[in-house]
Amino acid sequence: MSGAIAVLVHAQLDFWHTAQPESFGGMVTIFALLALGQSPWADDTAAAPDRRALLRWVLSGALFGVAGLLKPPLAGGGAVVAIALAGLAFSESRSWKAAIRPVIAVAIGGALPIVLCLLWFLVRGALGDLYQVLFVFTPHYTKLSWEGETLHGMAWWGFSEWFISYSSVTTVGLLLMLALQPSPREQRGALVIGAIIAVHLVGVIMQGKFFPYHYGATWPLTALLAGLGFHRVSLRLSRLGAAGAIGFIACFGAVALCRTATKDTKLSYRDRCLLRIELFTTSPRDQRAIDELATVADVNAGSNRAVAAALKARVPPGRAIYIWGFEPVIYDQADRDPATRYIYNVAQRGAWAREEARSVLMRDLGQSPPAAIVVEHRDVMPVVTGDAIDSADTLPSFPALRDLLAARYERAETIEDLDIYIER
């Protein structure tokens, strides 16, 4: 039941809000819980662990560490599990030594992937860059969303978004779980999962953007609790035999239709599903209609595909390109490498980081001159860049890139919002 709910919500988030770090981190979190064993809260392994229990704790911690590399707040789930195991061990043994074992094991496991990642950055000579991203760029980026806001207001926004603004299935399932009360054995696990969800929500609130995909890691956990609520209902209705099964399916279907997690698209989730079925069961396929399904806000999948085709035709294999904008998918579709480490230009547009980031960008472009530069219009994202200016309009304030374009490139064509400049 929980698996079905998790898949349903993920599918409803559609293309824009899936395949994000949170999407992968959420499932890594599920695997981290699975690594603890079938019922870690219902046996005495926390008080008297054997080697297998210790290895399970280390493995679980390592998976939480991997989740934290995908999105730092997700590592907090490991702290929740360690505290829960420690509390269970202490309640059974009254020994602080027994209580500290799972904490140390989970901490060692959690540190392993993080240390390996830091070593990789050290070997690559990029620890300074990592520091700049985590402790210089990110705090200012986060601060944008907190201007004029209050802590309790942001906290309510984050909680209410998660609880009622997405799938009606998760909302009703959570309410059913609370109303029908898990058994004592289930309560421990439900509390642990609820605490991990709380840690996730704190991370979302701290970031302050409230993009739909920011909740992506939390839906599998939410589905575990919602699934328990629906399971309770199914058990009660099963006493009615076939009539109970039909009633359950009808009620679940009715709940699912109330609200979906699909955001930012012109068509509803149901209509998008019907259109996909139609497109992929007819021949020849209508590429324009398929691209329409991948078009949202200022992103036009059709124009991206056209720009990629133009670059592929004009730029020799092995030569790099650069996109001054927010469309990194073009690199992949054109099968051409980026000329710089930056796959989009938020760093060069944010007031708090632009000077240093622009200097690094121009150094990169000098070392690997691009055969083509694409300049984007209308990619205005105040919540990300801190202003209402698009990429093209920032060029006058970036004379180094502006002069490079004027001296070495000429505009070959414009496709929708994208100007293609080719090396002279």
Whether 73 and 224 have beta carbons less than 8 Å apart is answered as no
Render pLDDT for 62-86 as a digit per residue (tens, 0 to 9). Answer: 999 999 999 999 999 999 999 999 9
Mean pLDDT across the stretch 4-16? 93
pLDDT number for residue 47: 55
pLDDT number for residue 185: 82
Which tokens sit at 398?
């970036």
pLDDT number for residue 37: 84
Render pLDDT for 157-203 as a digit per residue (tens, 0 to 9). Answer: 999 999 999 999 999 999 999 999 888 888 989 999 999 999 999 99
pLDDT number for residue 11: 95
- 410 sits in which H/E element: strand 409-415
pLDDT number for residue 182: 84
- 76 sits in which H/E element: helix 76-93
* Mean pLDDT for the chain overall: 93
Render pLDDT for 104-127 as a digit per residue (tens, 0 to 9). Answer: 999 999 999 999 999 999 999 999
Q: Residue 39: pLDDT above 70?
A: no
Instruction: Please state which of the ranges 45-49, 171-175, 365-369, 383-387 shows the lowest mean pLDDT.
Output: 45-49
Whether 145 and 207 have beta carbons less than 8 Å apart is answered as yes
* Residue 134: C-alpha distances to residues 1, 128, 213, 305, 326 (Å): 38, 10, 20, 33, 21
Residue 339 has φ and ψ, to the nearest 5°, of: -80, -5
Render pLDDT for 87-101 as a digit per residue (tens, 0 to 9). Answer: 988 888 888 888 999
pLDDT number for residue 43: 53
Mean pLDDT across the stretch 273-287? 91
Residue for token pair 């009715």: 254
pTM, to two decimals: 0.90
pLDDT number for residue 136: 87
